[in-house]
Structure 1
Amino acid sequence: MELRQLEYFVAVAEEQNFTRAAERVRISQSGVSAQIRQLERELGAELFDRSARTTTLTVAGKAALEPARAALAAARAVRQAVGEVTDLIRGRLTVGMVIGCTITPLFDALAAFHRAHPGVEISLLEENSDRLIEAVRAGTLDLALVGTATAELDGLHALTIISEPLVVAVPAGHALAARHQVKLRDLAEHPIACLPSGTGLRTVFDRACAARGLRPAITLQASAADAIADLAARGLAVAVLSESMAAAYRDRLTPLVIEDLDAPALLALVWKSTSSPAVRELLVHSRRAFIEPVGVGGAAPATG
């Protein structure tokens, strides 16, 4: 008994016709008939009643149908399992990371994946979040760590790593330094330093301002939080950063709550639902690297 014989048997049973079954399995009708005759001889019973125009199952055929389907399903599962292992032995994983990212758990996840699957080639590149998201959609990236204003991204799955508010950061002696909180309209009187367009943090800020009809003067842009903080510390602009970013520069800057900005900036891993076994395996390591430390109180600063 061969798997192909069971495949032909199931095809004829479902199509109730040898000609249509032959078209379905892409061999000649005589080939299908010959293989089923051989199967019947091995089983010692006829599987089909061929006396009518419609081919129907005999009692023996009805008894054999579900076991035949189960055998074919088991064979497909074996092929899939072996294929997934092969992909993890010899494959390639292309990962994106938002520019200026200092989130070391991603590197921990990549290192753990590499130790488990040394045969998979890993590529890592930096880019703005909007371009990374489009690259994942297009399939040129397998997975990316991005800054975003929302976890609802068309066609993609997202795992939120960090969700936190934006703040304003100013140096001592600045006109806003004596205040504990500000409104977005208060920033219109000051030049602003912020991440560039295409980053999640900037998208959150721009959307909030646009919703209130505000057009703040973003005079300085940099892709690294260090540069934005340094520019603000020198008195060149007011910095707009995430809460954790600003906390890293408390020795030079005072963070102020933006009271009318409710939407948080997110840092998230994004991937397609049709991702490869290698991506699914990397996600296992990523959840361990990101989620477990956060669960015990350790979260890295967000960016992008």
Structure 2
Amino acid sequence: MPLRFTLRQLEYLVAVGEAGSIAVAAERVNVSSPSISAAIAQLEQEFGLQLFIRRHAQGLTLTQGGRQFVAEARAVLAAAGRLSDLANSITGQVRGRVAVGCLVTFAQMVLPRVRRSFCDLHPDVEFQQFELDQAEIFAGLRAARLDVALTYELDIPPDLTFVPLLRLAPHAVLHERHPLAGRAFVTPADLAPLPMILLDLPFSTDYFLDLFRPTGQRPNVVERTRDLGVVRSMVANGFGYSIANIRPASAAAPDGTPLHFVKLVGPEPLALGLVLSEGALSALTIRAFVEHCRETVTEATLPGLVIGGG
């Protein structure tokens, strides 16, 4: 009797196995929690095997058999992906699914525009996007939840490959009446004694703090938040300065209050680019996306950003 299950159900199984939570898995694969629950129940019924132990307070834990099934499901999904890549290579068509991550700090300013132009060129591609921090991007690539990600060149591990696209100089983000707002540039030493609103995300935090290391000073961090919009609104309302490499052309916080950007001299510009797992470029769809980003993630084609200048 043939088994009745789908690759999509196996994808959901792997997502839950890695997340230990239906809600988190649903967020990762962009479907509803009931769809995930139904897929897991159908797989357990089909195989006559309990794959998870349900604990109300602690989420889901894989059974011993469930761990084996998740490992095999990963292998099946990888084999299916290779078949799709082979078909694309034979036909020369860019199609199938591509899962693209983007660093949350600039996703809203870069990813939708890149996605729109890529999908217009390749309408047979099923595009999935995920806004993540740097640690989540690395984990997603290693677990094959992501095919490629747009991010900064921040502590890229040796098992992943970085493809640079742009170099972005850091800027001090100030409210319009800040004493330093009228300067052509500032230095880390100028900023160190002043109250700082820190964007507190994995890898990003260390980058911002390391900008002050050559001065022998530590910045005066008075607030930390993981939300870039909150950072900008706090700065715009006079609670401190911040630092950003992405400089939007619209110099206003989410609450509409004006912001002022002043170039930060001393630190080297930070590369924005693509990070991929080893062997990812063997897939035609991923190669097509990388080449598309080379053409579209440029100073000339991202009008919502100010790439250079003070």
Q: In structure 2, what is the equivalent of residue 156 of structure 1?
A: 160
**1:204·1:265 contact (CA, 8 Å) conserved in 2?**
no
Q: Distance in 1 between matches of 2:246 and 2:136?
A: 24
Superposed displacement of residue 271, structure 1 = 1.4
Cα distance in 2 for partners of 1:148, 1:162 equals: 10
Shift of 1:145: 0.9
- Work out whether 1:269 is the aligned partner of 2:274: yes
Equivalence for 1:255:
261
Provide runs of 4+ in structure 1 moved above 6 Å. Answer: none
* 2:240 counterpart residue number: 237
Query: Corresponding residue for 1:92?
Result: 97
What is the CA-CA distance between 1:177 and the residue it aligns to? 4.0
- 1:183 — aligned with what? 187
Distance 2:243 2:110 in 1: 25
How much has 1:298 moved relative to structure 2?
Answer: 4.8
Gapped runs of 5+ residues in structure 2? 1-84
CA distance in structure 2 between the aligned counterparts of 1:91 and 1:216, rounded to whole angstroms: 47
Is 1:204 the counterpart of 2:204? The answer is no
Using the aligned pairs only, state the percent identity.
21
- Select the structure with the greater relative contact order (CA < 8 A; seq sep ≥ 6): 1
- Structure 1 residue 244: deviation in Å? 2.2
**Which residue of structure 2 aligns with residue 124 of structure 1?**
129
1:177/1:127 CA distance change after superposition, 3 Å = same
What TM-score, normalized to structure 1?
Answer: 0.58
Number of aligned residues:
219
C-alpha contact (below 8 Å) 1:148/1:199 kept by paired residues:
no
| In 2, Cα distance between equivalents of 1:180 and 1:114 | 40
Cα distance, 1:93 vs structure 2: 1.5
Unaligned runs of 5+ in 1: 1-79
CA RMSD after TM alignment: 3.6
Q: 1:246-297 deviations in whole A, cap 9, x for unaligned?
A: 87249833433433x3222332121134012221122232223224xx3579
- In the alignment, the residues of structure 2 paired with residue 122 and residue 88 of structure 1 have an alpha-carbon distance, to the nearest angstrom, of 15
Report what 2:3 is aligned to.
Answer: none
Partner of 2:294: 287
Whole-angstrom CA distance in 2 between matches of 1:100 and 1:199: 12
| Structure 1 counterpart of 2:144, from 139, 145, 148 | 139
**Radius of gyration: which is bigger?**
1
Q: Distance in 1 between matches of 2:246 and 2:146?
A: 29
